[in-house]
Structure 1
C-alpha cells in the first residue's frame, strides 16, 4: 500500500484506459478525482500557477474510483486505468554524492573500476583514511578546502569527493520527459550490469521560476559497475528504460507540510527477493551535505532555465555493502526483487526489478501527449 496521509494535498497522474491517455488527479477523502481541464491539462500547468495548493483545493473533477482500487490496478496494462509517475512535462534531474557515507562508496566504486570483487579491500583502506570524518564538513567551505588538500596529499582525492565537498554540486539528467515510471511499475536494469542497487531519495517538484512546490519519493536506479568503470558512462548508468521511478504522488507544500519536513525526512527501504532475501536500508535527510534550496539554486536560475519546471532527486545516504551471495562483493539486485521506499508524510513507492529490455517500452512521448490533449479539446 502507498499509505498516503489523508491530510495531504496530493497531485498526480493516471492512465485513463477509457480515454487512451493520461489524466491529472488529486485525492479527496480516499477518492481519486480526475481534475484535467483546459485550465490545467497537465501537472506542469498546475505547478506553474501562482498558488498550486489553492487551485488543488478548489478544482472540480470526475470521481474515478477509490484510491485503494487504483493502487491495486496492474500498472502497464493500457486496457486498465492505473497510476503513472506524477510528473509529465518537467525535466527530471538528479543530484549525486550529497551524503558523506554514499560519497565514500562512490570513491570505492571508482577505485575498484566497477569490479565488486575488489571493493571490499579498497573499502577497508579508504575507510581507514576517510571514515566518517566528512560527515560534518559543509560543502564548499574553507574547512572542505583543507580536507581536499589533505586527501590529495594522501593520494585519495577523487572526482566524487570534488562534487561531494567542493563548491559545485553534481546535477545530472536522470530521465527523459515522460519516461519515468510510477508506483507499482517495473523498474529496469540495463542487461550489461552485474553490480547495481536502488537509491531511495526525496524528489522535489520545482517550478520554472525555481519555486519548490512539493515533494515525493524516487528510486534512482543505479548501475555501480557501469559508472565505476568511468564517470563518463554516467548517462548509461542512470538513464535506461524504466530506470527512474517517481511517486506515488507529489505532496504539495501547505501549512501542514513544508520544506522543513523534507529536510527532516527519514526514508526507509526494504528490498525483498524472490529467494526470500531481505535488505533493509535507510536514508536520513538530516545528514545531507547541501541544503535542498542550494541544490535547486545550482540547478535552475539565470545560468539554466527549465520552462516546464523540473523534478529534482536530492541524493541518498544509502549505499549497500552487505554481501548478498559472494563474500566481499556486496549487494546487487536480482530479477524479481521488490523495492519499497517509504517516508512519513510521503507514503510508499513500490516497484519490481526487471531488465530494462523486459520492461514495457516507453512509447508515449511529448508528441503523443500533445495529440491526445488536442483530441480531447484541452489545448
Structure 2
C-alpha cells in the first residue's frame, strides 16, 4: 500500500475527497470517491475554481483515472497540497491552553529555560478562569480588568478573550506542502513545535465548503521575542503543511462534525523521543463559523477563496533533554496529525534550507495550465 493510501479518512469510501495530484504533466484537481480517482481538470483547472462552480453538497464529476490502489501504484503519481489559488489564513490563540502558552512565550522573551516557572505562576492565577470565559463577553471584560490590575494582561489575552480574533496570513498562495513532504523549521530557531489544526476551506463568498488538516509550524523563540516577528516565526520555506485532501461538506459530513472532531498528534524523533496529544474542537473558544466571519466581510475579500487554520490547544511542554527547557523539534522528527474523518497528514522535519525550495508560483501554474489547454 502506498503511504498516501494509509492517510485517508476511516470512512474514505463514503467521503467526497478533493485534492491535487501530479500525474506527470502538472497539478491536477482530483476527486477520490467510492474507491476511485477522477481527474477534474476538464471541469475546473484549479481546486479554487472547482469550489467556486460546484454547488454545495453536489458531487464533482470528472474523468475516471482508475482505482485508488491502481493510481497509488503508478510511479509518476504524486500527491500535492490540496490548496492552490486560495489565500492561506490562520486564526491564533483560539484555545485557552494555547493562549497561556503565547503569554508564556512573551514573558519568557523567547527563552525556553524561563518558561516552566512562568507557566506555573500563570496557571495558578488564570488557568481555570480562562477556559470558561466567552470572548468579548462582560465576564471577559471583568477578567481583563482584574488581570490588568495584577500586571498580568497581555496582547495574547486580548485576542483570546477580547472581541476581535487574531487572523493573520500564514503563507503565500501555492506555498503549502502536502502529505509526505518535508516541513521546515529555521536553523536559527532553538524552541519550536508543530501545531496540529483543522483547516476550513472557503469559497470567495465565505461559504465553508470543506475541511482538511494542517500543521502551522511555529517558532516559539522568535515569536516570543516580539509579536512583530510573527511573519518570521510563521512564514518560512516549507513551514505550512496541509492535507492530505479536502473533505467536502455533504449530507454525511458537515460543520457540526468539525465542531465535534478530535485532532491527534504523534511525533517520533530520530533519537527515539516520542510525543503525543489530542486537541478537541469542543474546547475552542470561538466557533469556527465566527472565525470565518471575522476573516471575510466588507473589509476583506478573497476572490479565489481562502483556507483558514482554526488554531490548536496543543502546546507541548514535555522536556526533551535538559529539564525545564520543554519540547523543541529535532531534525528528522516525523509528525503525524490525524482525525478519523479527515485522514492523516504526515511530514518529516528538516531545516528550511534543506527542504525543496518553493519555486512553483502563480506564474508557473498559469504557464503550465495554458500549455495543457486548461485555461478558457
If the length of structure 2 is used for normalisation, what is the TM-score? 0.95
Given that 2:32 and 2:68 are in contact with CA atoms closer than 8 Å, whether structure 1 keeps it comes out as: no
SS at match of 1:311: strand
Q: Which residue of 2 aligns with 1:334?
A: 330
Indicate the larger mover: 128-137 or 175-184.
Answer: 128-137
TM-superposed deviation, 1:84: 0.4
Q: Which residue of 2 aligns with 1:233?
A: 229
Q: Which residue of 1 aligns with 2:58?
A: 54
Determine the C-alpha separation between the residues in 2 that align with 1:68 and 1:132: 52
Q: In the alignment, does 2:156 pair up with 1:151?
A: no
Q: What is the total number of aligned residue pairs between the two structures?
A: 368
1:277-309 CA distance string (max 9 Å, x none) = 110011110000000111000000111100000
Given that 1:98 and 1:288 are in contact with CA atoms closer than 8 Å, whether structure 2 keeps it comes out as: yes
Given that 1:139 and 1:289 are in contact with CA atoms closer than 8 Å, whether structure 2 keeps it comes out as: yes
TM-superposed deviation, 1:50: 4.9
1:115-168 CA distance string (max 9 Å, x none) = 001111111111111123211111111110111111001100000000000000
Q: How has the CA–CA distance of structure 1 residues 270 and 253 changed in structure 2, closer, same or farther, with 3 Å as cutoff?
A: same
1:49-78 CA distance string (max 9 Å, x none) = 25154241xx121415525863x78xxxxx
Determine the C-alpha separation between the residues in 1 that align with 2:70 and 2:140: 48
Q: Which residue of 2 aligns with 1:106?
A: 102
Superposed, which structure 2 residues align to 1:245-324 within 5 Å? 245-324=241-320
Determine the C-alpha separation between the residues in 2 that align with 1:68 and 1:223: 40
Q: Which residue of 1 aligns with 2:44?
A: 40
Aligned-residue RMSD, C-alpha: 1.4
Q: Which residue of 2 aligns with 1:66?
A: 68
Determine the C-alpha separation between the residues in 1 that align with 2:248 and 2:145: 42
Gaps of 5+ in 1: 74-78
Q: Which residue of 2 aligns with 1:10?
A: 17
SS at match of 1:110: helix
Given that 2:41 and 2:62 are in contact with CA atoms closer than 8 Å, whether structure 1 keeps it comes out as: no
Determine the C-alpha separation between the residues in 1 that align with 2:270 and 2:70: 25
Determine the C-alpha separation between the residues in 2 that align with 1:67 and 1:148: 55
Determine the C-alpha separation between the residues in 1 that align with 2:109 and 2:219: 12
Determine the C-alpha separation between the residues in 1 that align with 2:198 and 2:229: 24
SS at match of 1:342: strand
1:222-251 CA distance string (max 9 Å, x none) = 000000000000000000010000000000
Q: In the alignment, does 2:167 pair up with 1:171?
A: yes
Given that 2:212 and 2:246 are in contact with CA atoms closer than 8 Å, whether structure 1 keeps it comes out as: yes
Indicate the larger mover: 129-138 or 155-164.
Answer: 129-138
Gaps of 5+ in 2: 1-5
Q: Which residue of 2 aligns with 1:76?
A: none
SS at match of 2:129: coil
Given that 1:227 and 1:237 are in contact with CA atoms closer than 8 Å, whether structure 2 keeps it comes out as: yes
1:243-264 CA distance string (max 9 Å, x none) = 0000000000001000000001
Given that 1:183 and 1:246 are in contact with CA atoms closer than 8 Å, whether structure 2 keeps it comes out as: yes
TM-superposed deviation, 1:80: 3.1
Given that 2:184 and 2:238 are in contact with CA atoms closer than 8 Å, whether structure 1 keeps it comes out as: yes
If the length of structure 1 is used for normalisation, what is the TM-score? 0.94
